[in-house]
Amino acid sequence: MPWFAVRVASIAGAVAALYLLSGLLTATIEAYVLQVLVQCGIYAILAVSLNLINGITGQFSIGHAGFFAVGAYVGAAWTMLWQPHAVRVTSALAMGTPAGDALNLLIACALGMAAASLAGAAVGLPSLRLRGDHLAIVTLGFGEVIRVLLLNIDAVGGARGLSGIPTLASTGDLAVFWVFLFLVLVIAVSRNLMNTTRGLTWLAVREDEVAADAMGVNTTRVKVTAFVLGSAFAGAAGVLYAHIMTGISPDVFGIDTSIIITTMVVLGGTGSVTGATLAAFLLVALPEMLRFMKDYRLVIFSTLLVLLMLTRPHGILGTRELGYATLFRRRQTGSPGTR
């Protein structure tokens, strides 16, 4: 299978390039800027993953921080609570070496993604009956349920949360690498989907559910798949967050976090993958850039947001995508929001 060999080679090349680039960035950029960049990356993963549910499939969800939390706690539970037991069974899981750390981080990610996608399926099911603002309320409630549950589970520290989470391979110069690896992955998944007719059926569910159903689209499956896929990546973002910040507590995953992620999707332009990515970078970096304003920082930030929505009511990119196609080709066939 030639396409397979080409695909594997190009992916390996891209990963290697990303690794080298992140090493270069880490060596040249000051620590504070790097920290902001990592935060930008984590929020971009969250925004692009919510875009799968909210922007592309049109299921208005404002509880994304809940999936973020599930991933963070399950991932941290692996490295802090379960790994010490598992390492006694096989020493291959020992931490401390780069390979062992990477393996543990990947296991934590797998567990965090699995747990978050289960939660996603559980929230996706009501979406079969609920639409628009009704669904929004259910997802909002879900986010709060997760937060309150975490507050009351003593095994994960209750209100204090978990601290002293091992940094694993995500420490120092590898934080940028892991975060951007997952960001590239979620963007690739979104774009691959959007470049096929299967992705179009997801957009069709957003545009008109009744018509999509009549045209042979299994709307139930599309909606649940969107929730599962979107929350899995939010879970991965959670695992990375836990192992980079080394401390998590329930209040990190409150309503305001959900709202900011939803804002990124709306601001980027509903359905636009690159729009969501851009908006995430903007919304994380802008408050940092405004630090010189001191107390007026958040006032200015909010004002800028309002101004942006007034001037671009359909988001920064609308339903378009930014890429070599839009940058270098003047015209293209196909729908806005599909290329």
Partner 1 sequence: MKVLLSARGITKRFGGLAAVSGLNLDVREGELLGLIGPNGAGKTTVFNLLTGVYPPTEGHVEFDGRRLRRMRPYQAAHLGIARTFQNIRLFRRLSALDNVRVAAHVRTTAGFWSCLLRTAHAMRNDAVLTEKARALLGALDLTSVAAAPAGDLPYGVQRRLEIARALATDAKLLLLDEPAAGMNPAEKQELMELIHAIRRDFSVTVLLIEHDMRVVMGICERIYVLDYGQVIAEGRPERIRSDPRVIAAYLGEESEPC
By CB under 8 A, name the binding residues for partner 1: 1, 3-4, 7, 189, 192-193, 195-201, 203-204, 207-208, 210-219, 225, 319, 332-338
Length of the chain: 339
Residue 206 Cβ vs partner 1, minimum distance, rounded to whole Å:
8
Q: Rounded CA gap, 183 and 189, in Å?
A: 10
The residue (of 163 and 332) whose beta carbon lies closer to partner 1 is 332
Residue 150 Cβ vs partner 1, minimum distance, rounded to whole Å:
31
Residue 217 Cβ vs partner 1, minimum distance, rounded to whole Å:
6
The residue (of 35 and 335) whose beta carbon lies closer to partner 1 is 335
Q: Rounded CA gap, 227 and 232, in Å?
A: 8
* CA dist list (Å): 231 to 5, 81, 93, 265: 30, 23, 27, 15
* CA dist list (Å): 298 to 30, 196, 302: 24, 41, 6
- 245 φ/ψ sector (left φ>0, alpha ψ -120 to 50, else beta): alpha
Angle at 194 between CA 265 and CA 281, to 5 degrees: 30
Residue 237 Cβ vs partner 1, minimum distance, rounded to whole Å:
19
The residue (of 190 and 258) whose beta carbon lies closer to partner 1 is 190
Residue 204 Cβ vs partner 1, minimum distance, rounded to whole Å:
4
The residue (of 174 and 205) whose beta carbon lies closer to partner 1 is 205
The residue (of 167 and 274) whose beta carbon lies closer to partner 1 is 274
As a whole number of angstroms, the longest Cα–Cα distance in the chain is: 60
* DSSP three-state, residue 247: strand
The residue (of 1 and 155) whose beta carbon lies closer to partner 1 is 1
Query: In the chain, helix, strand, coil percent, each to 5?
Result: 80, 0, 20
Q: At what angle do helices 31-51 and 2-28 cross, to 10 degrees?
A: 140
Residue 211 Cβ vs partner 1, minimum distance, rounded to whole Å:
4
The residue (of 97 and 192) whose beta carbon lies closer to partner 1 is 192
